[in-house]
Amino acid sequence: MKVVLASLIAVLAVLPTSARSQSGSMTLPPSVPAGSAFSIPTSGNGDGYLYIVGPTQAIKQSVHLGNPISFSAGDLYSAGAYLAILVTGSSTETQQLVVTPADKTSTLGFIAKPSRLPVGLHNGISGTVYLFDAYHNLILQPTPVTLQLSNATGVVQSRTVETRNGLAWSEMDSSAKEGAAKFIAKVGDVTSTRIIEQVPGDPCSISITAQPDGGKVKVQTAPIHDCSGNAIPDGTIVTFTETIGDKQSTVDVPLKQGIARVDMPAYKGSKISVASGVVAGNEILWEGGR
């Protein structure tokens, strides 16, 4: 009987230790900034594994219960929601762990559109900026973003917009003067630049003159500009039309050094007109050299 009792006492003495060795618990922080070093205190004793698993990262670490589980900077870097699963012997404890984006902006996703547009367009240029931390997590903390559009003469427009849900956006006018503009997004010392090409708009007006040249008539335009005074680029097509009675002939001529020229048959009483795009110019009634 004494032997049985002694054995029973021995077993009871051992059981709690054995049970503790197969179970443990952990105390998770409410949230962890992405990429930061942190530790998770544990209780109990024995060994096990901690899994941290979410759609954007999965890690596993061995655990000595009773000791904190340490994570070095950069170990857990992807913002999101995770299951933290502590497996010890036959026991499993599961909790949720949230990893938040780091506060510091590291890169900007800057979408500037269009890359080329006519001058003088109100709200013609748009810029959308996404803020990312060093681990490509979208930074959701509201953050001011400065958007600047400048040309060779300096800053033309500047706006500061606070991000919402990780992005900020704004629209800008294209300038009255043709040429390349720099579109810059800036957060702290992080910048991103896009080049916007501003090209002349449609011709403001077109005027032609005509001179006799043997059996032909030489027709040419005056230098063609848009309504802001920018020269219409060479290569722009100008269409000359000669009409006599119910007959009509047209010639398409590219601009060269701002002027379009053409030789047309000299029919007395013909009408010669000009157009480019949606803009029509003056009309000449050819009376044979007058």
- Binding site residues, other proteins, CB under 8 A: 31, 51, 53-60, 78-81, 83, 85, 87, 92, 94, 96, 98, 100-101, 111, 113-114, 126, 128, 130, 136-138, 140-141, 164-167, 169, 171
Instruction: Fill in the amino acid letter for 48.
Output: G
Which DSSP symbol is given to 102? P
Q: Can you tell me the distance from the alpha carbon of 49 to that of 117, in angstroms, rounded to the nearest whole number?
A: 59
Q: Which is nearer to other proteins, 149 or 208 (CB)?
A: 149
| Cβ at position 79, least distance to other proteins in Å | 6
| Cβ at position 112, least distance to other proteins in Å | 9
Can you tell me which residue has the tokens 């032609």? 208
Within 10 A of 50 (CB to CB), how many other CB atoms are there?
Answer: 21
Q: Which is nearer to other proteins, 141 or 248 (CB)?
A: 141
Q: Which is nearer to other proteins, 115 or 205 (CB)?
A: 115
| Cβ at position 146, least distance to other proteins in Å | 17
| Cβ at position 168, least distance to other proteins in Å | 9
Q: Which is nearer to other proteins, 33 or 281 (CB)?
A: 33
Q: Can you tell me the distance from the alpha carbon of 3 to that of 11, in angstroms, rounded to the nearest whole number?
A: 12
Q: Taking a C-beta distance cutoff of 8 angstroms, is the pair 84, 99 a contact?
A: no
Q: Which is nearer to other proteins, 52 or 232 (CB)?
A: 52
Q: Which is nearer to other proteins, 137 or 273 (CB)?
A: 137
| Cβ at position 36, least distance to other proteins in Å | 15
Q: Taking a C-beta distance cutoff of 8 angstroms, is the pair 78, 137 a contact?
A: yes
Q: Which is nearer to other proteins, 171 or 252 (CB)?
A: 171
Can you tell me which residue has the tokens 């990262």? 57
Residues 209/213/215/217 CA torsion (nearest 10 deg): -10
Q: Can you tell me the distance from the alpha carbon of 241 to that of 152, in angstroms, rounded to the nearest whole number?
A: 40
Q: Can you tell me the distance from the alpha carbon of 268 to that of 209, in angstroms, rounded to the nearest whole number?
A: 16
| Cβ at position 80, least distance to other proteins in Å | 4
Phi and psi for 8 in degrees, rounded to 5?
Answer: -60, -45
| Cβ at position 41, least distance to other proteins in Å | 20
Nearest to 111 by CA among 190, 165, 164, 170: 170
